[in-house]
Chain A
Amino acid sequence: MNLYIQAASQISIQEPLCEDWFEHPIFYEERYQRAIDPDFKMYIPPMVARRMGKLLKRALVTSSNVVENSATQKIDAIITGSGLGCIENTEKFLQAMVQEGEDFLQPTFFMQSTHNTISSQIALHLKCHGYNSTYSHRGTSFESGLLDAFQQISLQRIDNALVGGHDEMTPDYFTLLDQIGYWKKGAINSETLRNSDSDGSFSGETSVSFMIENRKKEFSLCEIKAVDLLYKPSIERMQTAVDDLLKNHHLTLQDIDSVFVGISGDVQNDTIYRTMKNKIFQNRPLCWYKHLFGESFSASGLGMYAAAICLQKNCIPEHLFYHPQKPMNGINNILVYNHFQNKDHSLILLSSC
């Protein structure tokens, strides 16, 4: 069974709902960035949007965008990955509990404070009564949702799935993560984070949606050949997983044009990628994307998005290469590799179609 990405859409710290980042990336000097939001009134009626936090609006807009762009008539499944869920509403609800002594709690914040609010609101908005699921596995939430869709389509239970990764970063949550060393101290330069030898990264926000389907269309971005998740793998286990994945698709490592990794400027995080590069992905060009999109629990979704756009355009731009080199044209296969705290590791193999 072949799976294709029919459409992809993002709202992040790059220009929203477009691929401007491909030629005109925005780089940052502040360690805390909120997403660049489109004018939501153009997409969601005000009376519908009034109860929604920013994350819900972003998820609805990117979801509607891919459904429209892929000309999908019937959505079989909506699957979302979110590390924090609607944390903005959760905070409002909890703050009200503290301030009001657990009285006078507003129902809207409570209703929309859960992780699965996103999938359910998308379903209500798109009038989809099919399979609806949410994965909240911190840094591999997106891949967990993608794996669900991949397996269900492969088993022919469904024909298509709307898969998304959505995470916001509120000022309070940013401060909490700052206290445990998630972020760099002081000003940063996102463009040169690759040279960093200190802990922490810079914060971004993610809302990315994909329409995945079992048949190729003339506008399909690329094919998803494999999705694999591993928990605390040794180097040997990772080597076996990569070997098996390539073998199953009659590929060798030399057929992989680039490996997209979640290098973020955090020396502890990046050391794992460098080790994998030296031991498993030798001689394969590394690309990174978190200098464009920042760090968030669903950032790996933007990694897959960036790789899919590169395959569609048949080009990897210069600014994505970890080791500076000229743009690469004529690409066929990209391996997206992500890890979260060296516990959860994921591999996504994308190919041109």
Chain B
Amino acid sequence: MEELILELKKEIIEVLNLEDVKPEDIDSDSPLFGDGLGLDSIDALELIVLMEKNYGIKLNNAAEGREIFKSVRVMAEYIQKNRKK
């Protein structure tokens, strides 16, 4: 799990172009949106594309996304259970 969390942090930094942010700067349990990393709705779209492209997970339900993107750890757990790639 820790390996997947690290991989996910690197992917988030790359896809969201978070300049000057390192994987260790992201708290695995902090919220991704609002407080914490402070991401917004466009970032949510980018994360949906990331999930589908890198792990073969297609999210159709917006409410589902709200739960999955709570934190990097929650996201990693969801990916581990549902990944097709």
Contacts and interface: CB of A to CB of B under 8 A. Distances in A.
Interface in A101-160: 103-108, 111
A326 interface: no
Interface string A80-117: 00000000000000000000100111111001000000
B53 A100 contact: yes
Contacts of A105: 49
Contacts, number: 28
Interface string B27-52: 00000000000100010011001001
A104 B42 contact: no
Contacts of A104: 49, 52-53
Contacts of A50: 16-19
A46 B15 CA distance: 15
A173 B65 CA distance: 38
Contacts of A47: 38
A51 B53 CA distance: 20
B20 interface: yes
Nearest to A104: B53
A49 interface: yes
Contacts of B17: 50-51
Contacts of A100: 53
Contacts of A103: 52-53
A108 B46 contact: yes
A213 B49 CA distance: 45
Nearest to A51: B17
B19 A107 contact: no
A107 B49 contact: yes
B42 A107 contact: yes
Given A107-B45, A111-B42, 18 more contacts: A41-B19, A46-B20, A47-B38, A49-B19, A50-B16, A50-B17, A50-B18, A50-B19, A51-B42, A100-B53, A103-B52, A104-B49, A105-B49, A106-B15, A106-B46, A106-B49, A107-B42, A108-B42
Interface of A: 41, 46-47, 49-51, 100, 103-108, 111
